[in-house]
Amino acid sequence: MNEQLRELVKNRLAAAVNCPAKEDIVEEITADLTAKYDDLLDSGMTPEEAFAKVQEGIGDLQEVVAFINEANRRSEEARKTSDNPFAGLEDLMRQMGKNLKNLEPSMREVASDLKSAAGHLGAAAKSLAQDSKATFKGSRETLHGSKEAFKDIAHSVRSGLRSTLKNLSETFEDGRYRYDYTVPAADLNGVEVITNSGDVTFGVSQDDNIYIVELSRNELTEDKLARIQTAGGILTVAQGQKYSAGSVLFSYGMLQSDFEIYLPQRGWNSISVTSSSGDIDLEKGLEVATLTLHTVSGDAKCPQLKCGVAEIHTTSGDVILTGDCCEARVTTVSGDCDFDGNADKLFVKSTSGDFSLNLCNMPCAMELNTVSGDTKLYLPDNDGFSLRYQRVSGDVRSDFNLKTSLSDKSGTAVYLEGGSRTYSMQTVSGDLRIYRR
C-alpha cells in the first residue's frame, strides 16, 4: 500500500519539476498518508474504503506544485551563480565604461597639458637653434622648465585618478584591511547594497554623513574596491570585481568583503540589500518606509524595526524580524521565520521552513503558506476572527474556542462572531498551532 500511495502522490504532483525538493515532499506526504490509512484500517474500514477516504482527503496540490517549482528555480539560480565564474561580467563592463567616462574630463586636461608642453619644447628647441652661443647654464634652465611642465602633467593624471576613489582611506587592523568612505547624506533618502560574498551590517552615524567601512582579509586593488555612487537620492554600494584572472585560472583571489554602513538617525524612504551568501544585520530601531532584503544562504536580522513595507526573501537563510510593520512579506525555501511585534498585514510563505509568529496585535490581513514546515502563531485576546484553512495531512489546533471543527481537510473556523478579520492558512504536511498570548 505504501508504494500505491507514493504513486498516487507522484501523479498529483506530476506538474512539478523533478528535483530533490519534490522527492522529499513526496516521501513526507506518502508517510503521512500511510499513517492515516493505517489509522482508518484500525477504526474498522476495509482496505478499499480506507484508500478511498485517504485519496479523497488529499485535495488540490497546485499550491504544493508552485512551491516545488519556485524552490527549484531559486536553487538553480544559486547554482548558476556559484558555477559561473563570469557571473556579473556584464555589469562589471558597464561599470568600467562609466569609470572611463568619469575619467574623460581628466584625460582632456592631460591632453591639453601635453599640447602645452609640446609648445614649450618647440619654443625651447627654436631658441637653442637660433642662439648656439647660449651658455650651458641657459640650456639647463630651459630643460628645467620642460621638466616642470612634465611634473604638471603627472600631477594632473594623479588628480584625475584620485577623484575616482570617493574620499577613500585605507588602514590595516585585526588581520583585515579596512577601507573607509564618507558620503554626505543631506540629499539622500535611500540606500541600495549589492554584494556577492560577505556580511552587510547597518549602524547609526553620529552626524549627517554616511560612513561606509569595507573589510577584507586581502588587500584590494582599485578594481576590487566597492563601487559607490549617488543618483536620484539613492546611495548605491556595490561590491567590486568578483573574480580576478588568477581566481579563474589558478583558483585564488576570490573576493570576499564585509560592509558596515552607518546611517544618520532619521527616517529613510528605502533600504535594499541583495546578497548571495552574507548575513544582513540592521541596527535596532531603524526607521524605513520600504525595506527589501534578498539573500540566498545568509540570515536576515531586523531587530526593533520601524517599517512601512518589509519584503524579505531567502533560500536557506533564517529571518528574524521584530518591531512594527505596516506590511511584512517573508518568503523562504528552507529557512525559518521568527516574527515578534505588530503587523497590520502579514504574509509568510515557505517550503520546509518553520514559522514562529508572536503578534502583539490582530492584523487586518494574514496569509500563511507552507508545505512541510510547522507554524506556531501567538495571538492576543481579541473580539473575534475567521480562519480559512486548507491542509493535506498536517494537524491544526487552536487555544481559542473555535465554533467550527478543525478536523476537516479544509474549511472556515470562527472565533466568537468572527469579527472583521479573516486569515488564510495553508499547509500540506506541516502542523499549525494557534496559541493565546
pLDDT (tens digit, 9 = 90+) per residue, 122-170? Answer: 554 455 445 544 443 444 444 344 444 444 544 443 343 333 333 555 6
pLDDT of residue 80: 63
DSSP 1-64: -HHHHHHHHHHHTTTSPPSHHHHHHHHHHHHHHHHHHHHHHHTT--HHHHHHHHHHHH---HHH
DSSP 8-state class, residue 402: B
Give the CB-side neighbour count of residue 201, counting CA atoms within 13 A. Answer: 11
Ranges 106-110, 255-259, 357-361, most confident: 357-361
| pLDDT (average), residues 6-27 | 86
Q: Is the pLDDT of residue 100 over 60?
A: no
pLDDT of residue 173: 65
- Element (DSSP H or E) covering residue 245: helix 245-250
DSSP 8-state class, residue 285: T
**Helix, strand, coil: what percent of the chain each, to 5?**
35, 35, 30
Do residues 329 and 338 lie in contact, with contact meaning Cβ atoms separated by under 8 Å?
no
pLDDT of residue 232: 95
pLDDT of residue 122: 53
* Least confident window among 45-54, 246-255, 353-362, 393-402: 246-255
* Least confident window among 110-119, 233-242, 428-437: 110-119
**Nearest-angstrom CA–CA distance, 144 and 128:** 14
Residues 162-214: tens digit of each pLDDT: 333 335 556 766 788 999 999 999 999 999 999 988 999 999 999 999 999 99
Q: Is the pLDDT of residue 27 over 90?
A: no
| pLDDT (average), residues 291-315 | 94
Residues 394-437: tens digit of each pLDDT: 888 999 998 877 888 889 999 998 888 999 999 888 899 999 99
Query: 380 or 30: whose pLDDT is higher?
Result: 380
pLDDT of residue 62: 76
pLDDT of residue 286: 85
Phi, psi angles (nearest 5°) of residue 201 = -125, 130
Residues 44-86: tens digit of each pLDDT: 889 888 888 888 777 677 778 877 887 777 767 666 654 554 4
Give the global pTM.
0.65
pLDDT of residue 29: 82
Number of helices (H), then strands (E), in the chain:
7, 22
* Least confident window among 31-45, 218-232, 335-349: 31-45
Q: Is the pLDDT of residue 224 over 60?
A: yes
First to last CA, the chain: 43
% the chain with pLDDT above 90 = 43
% the chain with pLDDT above 70 = 73
Query: 259 or 36: whose pLDDT is higher?
Result: 259
Q: Is the pLDDT of residue 2 over 90?
A: no
Do residues 392 and 63 lie in contact, with contact meaning Cβ atoms separated by under 8 Å?
no
Which three three-digit cell numbers place residue 180?
573607509
Q: Is the pLDDT of residue 323 over 90?
A: yes
pLDDT of residue 244: 41
pLDDT of residue 297: 87
What does DSSP say about strands 410-416 and 384-390: parallel, antiparallel, or unpaired?
antiparallel
pLDDT of residue 97: 55
* Least confident window among 29-33, 37-41, 136-140: 136-140
* Least confident window among 89-103, 130-144, 369-383: 130-144
User: What is the pLDDT of the chain when averaged over all its residues?
Assistant: 79
**Nearest-angstrom CA–CA distance, 257 and 197:** 7
